[in-house]
Amino acid sequence: MNVTTSPRWIISGAPRPAAPKLYCFAHGGGSAAEYLRWARDLRGAEPHAVQLPGRGSRATEPVITAMDTLVEAFLAEVSLGKEPYAFFGHSLGALVSYEITRALRAAGRPLPARLVVSGFPAPHLPRTADGVHRLPDAELLDTVSRMHGGIPQEVLASPELCALTATALRADYEILETYSWRSEEPLSLPVTVFGGSDDHVTGEQLEAWRALTTGEVTVRQFPGGHFYLRERPAVVLRALAGAVGSIRARAGDTPC
């Protein structure tokens, strides 16, 4: 079955027919383009970046501010087919990819062969909402920059880029801060968990993902903070290629 996707939601680079597809979900306020740049060095996969409304090529569309709305909209417009594929999500993207995986299961649709989550505590852990999405633009950008970093200086120096970034961040933080985990049966697929050793997300919070699947779970921390994957990209991409490569190996062992 060929994969059919909405060009609004999925931005794809050059095809690699022999490689498993890797759908990447960005962090809060993040750009889909960042993950397409991985294609140069991530040879064992065919990256596809998920573009949310209100940013990038969809900048003129209204943002989505609730997880259920986001998941329903994605499933309504995107078909991922039956060929083996994986999800990767960093920070908020980890939570989005997890909830989309659960929604795919509920709909009886093919699931990713592996879920790779990064820089985010297991969703069932207790959380406290801190109201970041209600802050004025300048305070919101300053708060997020102090908590996580990751906002380029050229963005902070441009009023126009600040406004665009604040709009996306506000929507994403509203998704996060109004999210409520609902208890369901654990997933049954393998999960790889990445994090930064100096991040505010602790090793215990990463290990807690083990409770959310009956499949194999691998947890690995890399040197660096919340955006460790930008600090030592070659090391991270090698680990990601290994995780995605296991999909191809299993698919090759499956009888026709």
Mind telling me the catalytic residues? 91
Instruction: Return the closest-CA partner of residue 192 out of 114, 94, 120, 89.
Output: 114
Count of other CB atoms within 10 angstroms of residue 168 = 21
Place of tokens 């090793």: 203
Name the helix (H) or strand (E) containing 220.
strand 217-222
Structure tokens at 254: 């499956």
- Three-class secondary structure of residue 22 per DSSP: strand
Spatial separation of the C-alpha atoms in residues 157 and 166, rounded to whole Å:
13
Phi, psi of 169 (to 5 degrees): -65, -40
CA distance 188 to 167: 36
Calculate the CA dihedral of residues 126, 168, 106, 220 and round it to 10 degrees: -60
| Residue closest to 194 by CA, chosen among 117, 124, 121 | 117
